[in-house]
C-alpha cells in the first residue's frame, strides 16, 4: 500500500528515516538469505546474528570444521575492543579499521567478493558480516582436531635424523618448511585448482637459487591444469608431468620436510597440495630415487656403501628372474656344473616350464604384497609373512615349483623394498615382468635388447626440461660427487649443474675440518 503523502509532508524527517531503516533491514535480510539458500541443505551450517555498537552483524561458520570455543573468544575480544574505541569507529566504520583496531592478532583478513567468502567459509573459517559494509571478515577458527598432528613418516623411515613428517594440513606443512629454511627468498605462490573442490596448491621455491626457466615452466603447467577434483598430490602429477606413458616416476614424491628443504636449497621447486601429506619436488632425475635424507646424517663412507647397496638391489629386483630364466633355458653352459646338477634334480618332476613357474611365483607374491598393504595393520604383516611361508613351502612340497625359484623370487622381492622411494620400486616390479618375458623368448640377447630399449627411453624423457638421466647423460663429472658416491659435506660446494642455478655455489666457505698438517719444525701453523 502506498504511503500517505499528507503523512509524509507532516513528518518528512521521521518518515524518511523510517523508510530508510526498512530498506536497510530488507537489504540486510536479503544478504543473509543468499548464504542461507546456498547452504540450505547443510545441517552443520550456522548463522549467529548480534549487534556491534549500532551495527547489525552476523557470523557464519560450519560447526563441523570451526572451533566453537576459539570463535567465541575471538568475537568476545573483538567486541570488547570495539566498545573501548566506539567513539572513533562509530561514525566512519570500515572493515579494515575493525580488523586493525578491534581484532588485532586474531588471524583476520578482509574479503570483498562473496564467492571468496563462501570458499573461505568452506575451508573452516568464520565469516563476520556487518550491515552496510560490503564484504566480510574471514576469521581463522579451524578446529585443529580435524587434522592429523605431526608424526613420523610412514613410508620413508630413517634411523638417524628428524622424525617429523608432513600432514594433511597445508598450514602445518608450510610451517614445517618455513621453520627449517629462514632464507628471506623462500616464497610460496598460491594456486587454486579443481572446479569442484577448489583445492589450494602452493609452489615453493627460493628466489635467487631456483632456475627462472624451471620456475616459469612450473607456473605454466599449474595454470593449465584444470581438474574437476584434486584430493592428493598424486592426482596433480598426471596434469603436470612431462610424459605419462612411461614406467619411470618423473616427479619426486616425499613426506619428509627435511628432504623437501634439501631439494629447495639445491635449486629445485616444490609443490604442496592441501589435504596431502606427500609433497612433489621438481625437476627430478633418475639418481634422486637412490638418495635418502639419512645419507647426509651418516658418515660419508657409510652413506656411499648404502648407495651402492641401493643400486645393486635395483638391478637384482629388475634382472634376477630374467637372468635365471635365460640361463636355464638357453645358456646352461654358463652355470657351474655342481649348481646345474642341483637345479636339474629339483626340476626333474616339475609339470611347468621355468617361465610359467616364475610367472606363477611372481604373481602370487604380488597378490600377497597387495593383500598385506590393504589388510588392517594388525594382521597385514602377518598375512604377508605367513602367506608367503605357507604358500612357498606347500608349492615346493606339491611339486609345482622348485626351491631355487622360491629363493630367487624372495630375494627379488626383498631387493625391491630397498629403494627409499616407493615409486621406483613399483617401476622395477612392472619392468621385471617385461624383461622376464624377453628372457624366456630370446635368452640373454632378449634381456640385453630390453635393457637397451629401457635406457634409450630414459635418455629420451625429461622432467621440466631437465634430462632424466643427468648427470650420467649428458655426462657431468663434477656432479658425481653426490650421485654414486657421497663425498664429505664440506666438499659439496656447488649445486647440481643440470639445474643451472643462478647461484651455483652453495657453500663457498666450507673447508676441511681436519687439523692442519705440521710444519717441518714440528709445530702447526
Sequence-distant contacts of 289-292: CB under 8 A, at least 24 apart = 289/249, 289/252, 289/419, 289/420, 289/421, 289/423, 289/424, 290/314, 290/419, 290/420, 290/424, 291/420, 291/482, 292/156, 292/158, 292/259, 292/420
Q: Which pairs from 85-93 meet CB under 8 Å and 24+ separation?
A: 86/53, 89/53, 90/53, 90/54, 93/53, 93/55, 93/130, 93/133
Cis amide bond preceding 471, omega within 30: yes
- The sign of the dihedral angle between the CA atoms of 371, 374, 376, 382 is positive
Question: CA 260 → CA 174, 230, 252, 381, 422, distances in Å?
Answer: 11, 21, 10, 30, 16
pLDDT band of 85, cuts 50, 70, 90 = low
> Which of helix, strand or coil describes residue 340?
helix
* pLDDT tens column, 169-203: 898 899 999 999 998 999 999 999 998 888 999 99
Over the chain, what is the mean pLDDT? Answer: 84
Is the Cβ–Cβ distance between 463 and 267 less than 8 Å? no
The pLDDT assigned to 311 comes to: 94
* Dihedral angle sign, alpha carbons of residues 299, 302, 307, 308: positive
Measured in degrees and rounded to the nearest 5, phi and psi for residue 154 equal: -90, -25
pTM: 0.84
Closest CA relative to residue 237, chosen from 258, 215, 221, 261: 221
44 neighbors 63 (Cβ within 8 angstroms): yes
Whether the predicted pLDDT of 140 surpasses 90: no
Q: Which of the four pLDDT bands, split at 50, 70 and 90, describes residue 525? A: low
- Percent with pLDDT over 70 in the chain: 87
**Percent of the chain having pLDDT more than 90?**
37
Nearest 5°: CA angle at 443, between 442 and 445?
A: 75
User: What are the pLDDT digits (tens) for 263-322?
Assistant: 999 999 999 999 899 999 999 999 999 999 899 999 999 999 999 999 999 999 999 999
Amino acid at each position: 500500500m502506498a504511503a500517505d503523502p499528507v503523512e509524509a509532508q507532516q513528518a518528512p524527517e521521521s518518515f524518511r528515516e523510517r523508510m530508510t531503516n526498512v530498506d536497510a533491514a530488507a537489504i540486510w535480510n536479503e544478504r543473509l538469505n543468499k548464504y542461507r539458500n546456498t547452504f540450505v541443505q547443510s545441517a552443520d551450517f550456522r548463522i549467529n546474528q548480534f549487534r556491534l555498537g549500532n551495527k547489525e552483524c552476523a557470523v557464519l561458520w560450519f560447526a563441523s570444521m570451526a572451533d566453537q570455543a576459539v570463535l567465541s573468544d575471538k568475537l568476545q575480544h573483538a567486541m570488547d575492543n570495539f566498545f573501548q574505541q566506539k567513539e572513533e569507529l562509530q561514525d566512519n566504520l570500515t572493515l579494515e579499521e575493525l580488523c586493525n583496531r578491534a581484532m588485532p592478532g586474531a588471524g583476520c583478513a578482509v574479503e570483498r567478493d562473496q564467492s571468496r567468502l563462501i570458499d573461505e567459509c568452506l575451508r573452516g573459517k568464520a565469516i563476520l558480516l556487518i550491515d552496510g559494509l560490503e564484504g566480510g571478515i574471514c576469521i581463522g577458527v579451524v578446529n585443529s582436531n580435524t587434522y592429523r598432528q605431526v608424526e613420523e613418516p610412514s613410508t620413508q623411515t630413517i634411523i638417524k635424523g628428524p622424525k617429523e613428517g608432513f600432514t594433511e594440513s597445508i598450514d602445518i606443512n608450510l610451517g614445517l618448511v618455513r621453520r627449517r629454511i629462514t632464507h628471506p627468498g623462500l616464497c610460496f605462490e598460491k594456486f587454486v585448482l579443481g572446479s569442484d573442490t577448489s583445492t589450494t596448491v602452493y609452489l615453493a621455491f627460493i628466489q635467487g637459487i631456483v632456475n627462472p626457466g624451471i620456475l616459469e615452466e612450473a607456473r605454466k603447467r599449474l595454470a593449465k591444469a584444470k581438474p574437476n577434483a584434486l584430493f592428493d598430490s598424486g592426482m596433480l602429477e598426471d596434469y603436470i608431468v612431462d610424459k605419462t606413458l612411461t614406467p619411470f616416476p618423473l616427479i619426486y614424491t616425499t613426506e619428509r620436510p627435511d628432504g623437501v628443504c634439501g631439494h629447495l636449497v639445491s635449486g629445485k621447486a616444490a609443490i604442496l597440495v592441501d589435504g596431502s601429506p606427500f609433497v612433489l619436488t621438481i625437476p627430478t632425475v633418475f639418481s634422486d630415487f637412490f638418495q635418502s635424507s639419512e645419507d647426509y646424517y651418516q658418515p660419508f663412507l657409510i652413506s656411499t656403501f648404502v648407495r651402492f647397496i641401493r643400486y645393486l638391489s635395483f638391478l637384482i629386483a629388475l634382472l634376477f628372474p630374467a637372468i635365471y630364466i635365460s640361463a636355464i633355458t638357453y645358456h646352461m653352459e654358463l652355470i657351474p656344473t655342481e649348481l646345474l646338477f642341483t637345479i636339474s634334480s629339483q626340476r626333474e618332476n616339475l609339470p611347468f616350464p621355468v617361465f610359467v613357474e616364475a610367472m606363477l611365483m611372481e604373481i602370487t607374491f604380488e597378490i600377497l604384497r597387495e593383500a598385506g598393504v590393504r589388510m588392517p595393520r594388525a594382521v597385514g604383516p602377518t598375512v604377508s609373512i605367513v602367506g608367503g611361508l605357507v604358500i612357498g613351502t606347500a608349492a615346493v612340497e606339491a611339486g609345482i615349483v622348485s626351491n631355487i625359484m622360491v629363493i630367487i623370487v624372495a630375494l627379488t622381492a626383498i631387493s625391491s623394498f630397498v629403494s627409499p622411494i616407493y615409486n621406483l620400486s613399483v617401476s622395477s616390479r612392472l619392468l621385471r615382468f617385461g624383461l622376464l618375458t624377453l628372457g624366456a623368448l630370446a635368452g640373454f640377447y632378449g634381456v640385453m635388447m630390453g635393457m637397451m630399449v629401457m635406457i634409450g627411453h630414459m635418455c629420451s624423457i625429461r622432467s621440466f626440461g631437465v634430462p632424466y638421466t643427468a648427470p650420467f647423460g649428458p655426462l657431468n663429472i663434477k656432479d658425481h660427487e653426490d650421485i654414486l658416491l657421497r663425498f664429505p659435506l664440506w666438499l659439496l660446494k656447488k649445486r647440481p649443474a643440470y639445474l643451472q642455478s643462478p647461484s651455483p655455489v652453495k657453500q663457498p666457505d666450507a673447508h676441511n675440518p681436519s687439523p692442519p698438517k705440521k710444519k717441518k719444525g714440528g709445530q702447526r701453523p
